[in-house]
Amino acid sequence: MQFLTSYPNLRRRALSCLMVGLSACVVSWPGNSMAQALSLAESEARLAQYHPLIQACQKDPAIAQALQAQASHWNAPRLNLVGEDLLGSAATSGQNYTQWTLELQQDIPLNDYRSRLKQLGTQEALAAQAQCQVVTQTLRQQLQSAYLEALYWQEAVHLQQEQVVLVEQLREGIARQIAQGKRPGLDLLRFDSEQDLARLALKQAQKEAQQRREQLALFWTGSPEFTPPLAEERLQWPGQRPALEHSLSARSAQAQYTVAQKALETAQYQGLPDLTLGSGLRWHPESQDVGINVQVGWSLPNLQAQADRLTVHQLEQAKASDALRFAQQTAQQSQRQLQQQLQQKQAQWQLYQTQLIPRAQHYLEKMQKGLLLGKFTLLEVLAARQQAYTLKEEALRLQIALSGLQQALRELGPTPADTTP
């Protein structure tokens, strides 16, 4: 962020941004207009394309659907070969009763339980997709925090550069007065120390900025472009972006509730066993007689097991309903709290930009002029410089917080309606 009082020609532009929203106020530093830009949206696109956790969870919908599709198929036919009376007592008396039977059996469903399993798989795939969106959102929010932290240190470097220039200008003025015999040479030592401290603070800020950029690049480790953003690659203040259409956490909870409903409906058809039909070709080797066997089988329903199964699904549905209600309430509360925090931060930021920083900057300029005229001491001027710097640094942190609140509100989407029964 370039603070308005440091560059008066941009003050009017930045103040006008207050009327249209903070995120629209993107101010460029002089001499850096040709730097390559890396926006937050581009960073999020790299995350979505290359992060291994996102790539992994994107496979979950297909897995869920395939598992239920597998269970929805009929059982494969069974082929049996049965030999009878192979070592019976009749063989010793000269009478051979040995015979062979080749049987084919098939289980026939008596209801549409298996087709409902396929429908359940479709709902589970949608729920897995919604959950993957939540995972993506969580990673995206982490990236946004990392991006804004890197952006803060990028702008802090410029702020420290401004301090170095200011101290050097003060030192040059004092050096001229010493050369003219208006000040003792000892005064220059104090500004030499201040100059060294300012340069040290600049180096520390540059190091922090590079480390934050390296941390930011970790969010797209699988990318062929996996290199930390270059020092000359400027991060940008996030602009206005439309909010998400849905609260992803509430949407995921709604999908889980729908799955629980569908699972309960499907389980009601699970208690009826399949009908087994079979037919066999019987052959008696000694007489060469050939016959046909027919078999019909049906397992008796286990009513207690079915009742227990339905109880489990009913409890899971109630659990999913509670989770959905909690997700909706949490999204509503978070939105109200974020709106309040945003309004408070905007009021504070406006106070800094329209009153506190201009006042401190004006005071510092007067002190600088007064120092050269002998009206103020070195300590007074340095104290004024520190005050102006502190206010600018606080305003920078405040703008970072505002940008974070705007991104958080965008991620929440509209206030979700209560759709629980």
Q: In terms of C-beta density within 10 A (0-12 exposed, 13-18 middle, 19 or more buried), how is residue 240 classed?
A: exposed
pLDDT tens per residue across span 145-175: 999 999 999 999 999 999 999 999 888 888 8
Q: Are 324 and 420 in contact (CB under 8 A)?
A: yes
Count, in order, helices (H) and strands (E) of the chain: 10, 6
* Dist. CA 63–CA 69, nearest whole Å: 10
Q: Are 353 and 360 in contact (CB under 8 A)?
A: no
* H runs (alpha helix) in 58-112: 60-72
pTM for the structure as a whole: 0.79
Number of Cβ within 10 Å of residue 115's Cβ equals: 13
* Dist. CA 388–CA 392, nearest whole Å: 6
* Dist. CA 156–CA 171, nearest whole Å: 22
Per the model's pLDDT, the better-predicted residue between 68 and 21 turns out to be: 68
* pLDDT level of residue 221 (50, 70, 90 thresholds): confident
Average pLDDT over every residue of 79-92: 74
Number of Cβ within 10 Å of residue 298's Cβ equals: 14
The fraction of the chain above a pLDDT of 90, given in percent, is: 56
pLDDT tens per residue across span 294-349: 999 998 999 999 999 999 999 999 999 999 999 999 999 999 999 999 999 999 99
pLDDT tens per residue across span 352-390: 999 999 999 999 999 988 887 878 888 888 899 999 999
